[in-house]
Structure 1
């Protein structure tokens, strides 16, 4: 893991709002001391790369990148070009957050998530060659023939979105960092064990590695308001959670199935209403600034930093400031 002094501070900004608002939030996050801002990528929201361009214009130092895009909706060579463009317009501040994507969302588009680990690895391997100015021919989970970028050569750090053991170990072996899709110390401790295995096989020339908790966070002045805002993201986390993850937190299987079934029916009101307090505790860092600071401190025993993820809180600007304050209170 990284030997950097102090935890890395990241934030996920979701383009469910217009790009100018997201850019304003990125500027606020920069002013509050965050190191990196990710624009999340979901087909039903605004385009993350258009949004990142606005974020670059509104900021000066904070690193910027998609968090995370998948290499199924968009060809990996095109993704490499998009990320390189973000790097160009931000004067070298880009990062590449890439993962396998959500299986159910891809299914909505008629896309099969085939061989996800290999697809993600090949995607950023090819991207690195393209960013170095090479002409690439590739025949694997995707094909490219004599592909190159009409952009200046660059280097962009790669962060892999991961939750399962194989993706975690692969990211530690090959990427610059991992974005662990978890918020609870129990999950993060388990993930750290998987990452440690991958680091044992990491080539020395790969350099430093950063493990970040990509955690659902909801912070507000009032505990109830924060926990209420956490219900939608927690419902989707529960709906896609693997059985071992539910067992790790003693989440009632029938309760989780009820949430998943409501999501599948498209009854979001019912799904959010079936989220239990135990689910919020397991899958979101939710509460007042003081509560969130305590949870951040527990999480940071296992990772190099935290990406403060959706929903942030019931009031986005207030939540950015409170999340920063909570990180300031952490004793590490």
Structure 2
């Protein structure tokens, strides 16, 4: 049975750019739903990688996760998105966010109100994609008689790549959906949708950290250092899991090695980690919470990441 949520693969910001066409072709041929392009400062660029992936595929969808709204003028963002949509109508799903504020500071574009800037940019981009002639004189967006020529024939929903209650509440009012960062768990999704106000026709995309191996022990051993980092930093996507305090106490007392022995049910909540059946159970749980798109996010090691593509394809076609 084909999965009800679209299952795809995340192309890490550190991967060699030339690898994107091979990954895209493999996913396209195998029947995966989507390749998610990860744009973070100051690594590879999302727009150019997305164009390369679209150019070598026939059916594969491309997600952008995410474009920081103040890094580009909103008119340029709308132009770039229109170009991608024109290259492959119906195959582009853009995510925009207010960006990591430290990075925005480095570029000299940090907004005094990230939420205010986010709202103004999303509004301007949405109106431009809809074919409007936009004139606005806001605190962060100033446009005079700007109109796309021509605007896209089909406009995808603009997804908000945000976290935190205020940002999610705003996303629920102004965006077409959300992109939730890894490690997205069913608990993370439930809380995020509550904070967004559970609006109608709201597209939910998530990134979920993946490691599928022949046996659970190997997968847990590979992912234990990663999980330790998530615990140490109190990653906002992990904190909502119901066992987070127990997990933290165990890690504080016994370190990374102890994480390999946590219950399989905990690992399955945290991500598609373990056997292929364990990963499928995680995806089923995300779908039950209303998730529409799942981007499986491998560790940054290229060889390990490439070994996951066949598993991603299997999960997409399960």
Which bracket does the TM-score occupy, shorter chain normalised?
0.7 to 0.9
Which structure is richer in relative contact order (CA contacts within 8 A, separation 6 or more)? 2
What is the match of residue 187 of structure 1? 188
Q: Distance in 1 between matches of 2:125 and 2:60?
A: 22
What is the match of residue 239 of structure 2? 245
Cα distance, 1:166–1:14 mapped onto 2, change above 3 Å: same
Where structure 2 has 5 or more consecutive residues not aligned to the other structure, the ranges are none
CA contact (8 A) 2:39 2:66 kept: yes
CA contact (8 A) 1:180 1:214 kept: yes
What is the match of residue 165 of structure 2? 165
What is the TM-score when the length of structure 2 is the normalising length? 0.79
Indicate which of 321, 326, 330 corresponds to 2:315.
326
What is the match of residue 218 of structure 1? 211
Indicate which of 309, 312, 315 corresponds to 2:297.
309
Indicate which of 92, 97, 108 corresponds to 1:94.
92
Q: Distance in 1 between matches of 2:174 and 2:187?
A: 25
Q: Deviations over 1:19-43 (max 9, x none)?
A: 3311221222223323332211112
1:209 partnered with 2:205: no
Count residues in correspondence.
303
**Which stretch shows the higher mean deviation, 217-226 or 88-97?**
217-226
CA contact (8 A) 1:216 1:233 kept: no
Q: Deviations over 1:247-273 (max 9, x none)?
A: 8521538968xx9xxxxxxxxxxxxx7
Deviation at 1:276, TM superposition (A): 5.0
Cα distance, 1:151–1:126 mapped onto 2, change above 3 Å: same
Indicate which of 260, 274, 278 corresponds to 1:287.
274
Cα distance, 1:254–1:109 mapped onto 2, change above 3 Å: farther
Superposed CA RMSD in Å reads: 3.5
Q: Distance in 2 between matches of 1:30 and 1:234?
A: 34
Where structure 1 has 5 or more consecutive residues not aligned to the other structure, the ranges are 203-207, 260-272
**Which stretch shows the higher mean deviation, 99-108 or 128-137?**
99-108
Cα distance, 1:213–1:143 mapped onto 2, change above 3 Å: closer
Indicate which of 151, 172, 176 corresponds to 1:153.
151
What is the TM-score when the length of structure 1 is the normalising length? 0.76
Deviation at 1:227, TM superposition (A): 4.0
Q: Deviations over 1:89-146 (max 9, x none)?
A: 2245222111122234445545535433332232222112212333322233412221
